[in-house]
Structure 1
Amino acid sequence: MEFHTQIEAARKGIFTPQMQNVAQEEHIAPEILMQRVAAGTIVIPANRNHKNLRACGVGQGLRTKINVNLGISGDCRDYMCELEKAKLALKYDAEAIMDLSNYGKTNTFRKQLLELSPAMIGTVPMYDAVGYLEKDLRDIKAKDFLEVVRAHAAEGVDFVTIHAGINRKSIDSFERSGRRMNIVSRGGSLIYAWMKMTGNENPFFEYFDDLMDILYEQDVTISLGDAMRPGCNDDATDAAQVSELVELGLLTERAWKHNVQVMIEGPGHMTLNEIAPNMLLEKRLCHNAPFYVLGPLVTDIAPGYDHITSAIGGAVAAAAGADFLCYVTPAEHLRLPSIPDVKEGIIAAKIAAHAGDLAKGLPGAREWDNRMSDARQKLDWDAMFDQALDREKAEEYFKSTNPTDKHTCTMCGKMCAVRNMNRIMNGENVLLK
């Protein structure tokens, strides 16, 4: 029986090799997985041309996944450095990598990334349009944008962020809202600028059905981008953000009719008390499609530490139903991240994702923590390092000082509560000298 996409296969009762891999890794019953893929509440981004992909599921009842952004800019054009960042993302088991390169001809790098990565690869074709088409933004025609998407799909990209929800209706809400930070989405701002300069409708909205035909052909998942995401806490959950979310919900249903898989991108900055309501709102308006959040950053005052502000928000979002977290590095708002920045961002996002899984009671999440606790109770340092999210850092910290008693660390020494409880409960004396 012929099919092009994972959602189409599920609707036809076909259990694909990609579904089998997800079912095994997530310990989910095949029939439940197939039902959720068919309903669109789980996506398995898996371009037919990404040959070495390790299929991964995102959505209802699955582990919270993380994405790592990388790519060159006009000011930083070192592709080799970006490949090293990709290798680091794979080392720490990031499930997705997005190439956000926005300068020159990027397809050579993208092909190298696809050959290297078993993780799913995403792009924002709008970033590539000017370099690919060799035209100024104003001179690009509506159908030209679709050709860039077609090229990315043919190369093997597993998901694309498309800002299709920013249309004449939604920008009316934005223009009347008096936002503090206007539009902070790079792709969204380019679409808005093109619309204002040409007087035309958003091409991705106007030709949405044609776009779906392109994505359907190679099974590219559409990540419906949030052009109107808040860029500061003061703009969160305003008319512009919510009006676009309504449009994204309508576009989700249209994409499903084309048998195209859908994710929804979510807010960037908002205070802690707004995060859970926003998760519920997205699930309600977008029919429980998987939610991919960009943070959220819970305060705007910590440049240099935004991997922490993001991890706080990401943990709350994941606990409240977000399915996919985009990492944020310490360099956010300041520069293109370095390799050390990327590592900090990955670890922070992984912590947030796992914290969310614990809160949701995801099967297997607590067992990992329990293995660490058992190792700590036994003062088994090697076992602790084995369970550590970042073994290298944990081992480096421990070995950087020399405790008198090798079974303790230099924080408590012989007053270590774990050591002394183990002794006293075994009927031994506690000796502090």
Structure 2
Amino acid sequence: MTQISAAPEGQPEPVTQIDCARAGIVTPAMRAVAKKEGRDPEFVREGVAAGRIAIPANVHHESLSPEGVGGGLSTKVNVNLGISGDLADEAEEWKKVDVALELGAHAIMDLSNSGKTRAFRTRLIEKSPAMIGTVPMYDAIGYLEKALVDITAEDFLDVVRAHAEDGVDFVTIHAGMNRRTIESFRETGRLTNIVSRGGSLLFAWMEATGNENPFYEFYDDVLAILHEHDVTISIGDAMRPGSTYDASDAGQIAELIEIGKLTRRAWDAGVQVMVEGPGHMALDEIAANMKLEKRLCHDAPFYVLGPLVTDIAPGYDHITAAIGGAIAASSGADFLCYVTPAEHLRLPDADDVREGLVATLIAAHAADIAKGVPGARDRDNRMSDARRRVDWEGMFAEALDPVKARRYFDSAPPSNDGTCTMCGKMCAMRTVNRIMDGLTVDLNLQ
């Protein structure tokens, strides 16, 4: 847990990271983030105080290794997993957790939506040094054992409270989809309508009951729960585009305007904020959307799904998302949610998780190089040096996925040391190394 100094007499005790930052306190979590990022702790504290940086760190998450998300820091990557009603295989979900932690995911979102999910969630929080996120809306029906239309606003708050008490570091709350947002959506229309699962459930509840979005109407109550446990609110984009056709439309932008207002209200309540974004989006729209979010949401950290830059690559959407993610992060996004090859097709398995996570880690790292994040090039330089020396173990050590790299190399071992089967004795590295060492270059290929 984060230890903080006592507040001056007459002032409330600081509870959250943003409370502490505004009080001039550098918490252990801030110091841990600064060390990881190669930044001065005061740089991190100032960023948290201003809302540019969030450190999702629930006071109950004992195993957490804190991460910072936001301006001037490396791009973080999230993995989605969780038990599905159609394919409930808890053992497979734990395999996915192991892959995520092995490859260095910074966050894991438990999107379980079947039955009583608390046991899986609490065990995940106990095990994981990565940040844990959830979408309480997904859990509401199973947790409450009620039909959607019978759930009350207080019921929804009870689910948020349970997740906060369990130790979840950030929760997606679709608070920006209010009556004004829906009016824009209805007036302008869409090709793919509402594709957010949480957003669609809220839309259905609002339409069935005639009520306002409970997370918007009772937003202050949500914030009070989150503040008590230092849970970061990730303001969900219920109106994110589910196709490139719908990108940057009235529904998306209307919701983003509302989210900007909600961001300030959360900060005023001492709650850290991340803002969630698209979605599907053509290449030429991505940079402008990143800048628009930063402008409308006051430089709050931006968390994006992809964006997927084309709609016609099922089976390869980890690639379409990585292309968009690299552009998004290099243009200002701070946090990338991975997409797997199974996107739009089925629940991903552990192999899909590996492929999707590595693709997203590549996108994040490529963006960090472009943004000039301190130390971002160091690993690439070590890899390049190992390649010059044809040091295979050194190369595997620097690889994002050393397991796959080693498997490829071992599947076709070279006949000569200092080469691989791509070039053999004609390897440029081998040739120049031998010349530089004063040796003879033997190109006899027999």
Matched residues in 2 for 1:198 and 1:390: separation? 49
Matched residues in 2 for 1:399 and 1:77: separation? 36
Matched residues in 2 for 1:178 and 1:52: separation? 46
Aligned counterpart for 1:372 among listed residues 375, 383, 388: 383
The yes-or-no answer on 1:202 pairing with 2:213 is yes
2:355 maps to 344
1:9-88 matches, within 5 Å, as 9-88=20-99
The yes-or-no answer on 1:307 pairing with 2:315 is no
Give the secondary-structure state (helix, strand or coil) at the position aligned to 2:430: helix
Aligned counterpart for 2:249 among listed residues 224, 238, 257: 238
The yes-or-no answer on 1:159 pairing with 2:170 is yes
Aligned counterpart for 1:251 among listed residues 262, 280, 295: 262
Matched residues in 2 for 1:340 and 1:359: separation? 29
Q: Where has structure 1 moved over 6 Å in runs of 4 or more?
A: none
* Residue 427 (structure 1) shift: 4.2
How many residue pairs match? The answer is 433
The yes-or-no answer on 1:424 pairing with 2:402 is no
1:228 maps to 239
1:276 maps to 287
Matched residues in 2 for 1:374 and 1:233: separation? 41
Matched residues in 1 for 2:102 and 2:438: separation? 44
Give the secondary-structure state (helix, strand or coil) at the position aligned to 1:200: coil
Cα deviations across residues 167-221 of structure 1 (Å, max 9, x unaligned)?
0001111111220000000000011111111110000000001111000000000
Q: Which runs of 5+ in 1 are unaligned?
A: none
2:120 maps to 109
Matched residues in 2 for 1:183 and 1:50: separation? 33
* Residue 308 (structure 1) shift: 0.7
Query: Which amino acid in the other structure matches residue 124 of structure 1?
Result: V
The yes-or-no answer on 1:172 pairing with 2:183 is yes
* Residue 425 (structure 1) shift: 3.8
Matched residues in 2 for 1:241 and 1:360: separation? 27
* Residue 225 (structure 1) shift: 0.2
Matched residues in 1 for 2:117 and 2:93: separation? 12
Query: How big is the alpha-carbon RMSD for the aligned residues of Structure 1 and Structure 2?
Result: 0.9
Query: Identity of aligned pairs, percent?
Result: 66
* Residue 133 (structure 1) shift: 1.0
Query: Which amino acid in the other structure matches residue 312 of structure 1?
Result: I
Aligned counterpart for 1:191 among listed residues 202, 207, 210: 202
Matched residues in 1 for 2:285 and 2:429: separation? 40
Query: Which amino acid in the other structure matches residue 81 of structure 1?
Result: E
- Give the TM-score normalised by the residue count of structure 2: 0.96
Matched residues in 2 for 1:111 and 1:7: separation? 25
Give the secondary-structure state (helix, strand or coil) at the position aligned to 2:72: coil
Q: Which runs of 5+ in 2 are unaligned?
A: 1-5, 7-12
- Give the TM-score normalised by the residue count of structure 1: 0.99
2:9 maps to none
1:93 maps to 104
Matched residues in 2 for 1:386 and 1:31: separation? 32
Matched residues in 2 for 1:113 and 1:382: separation? 33
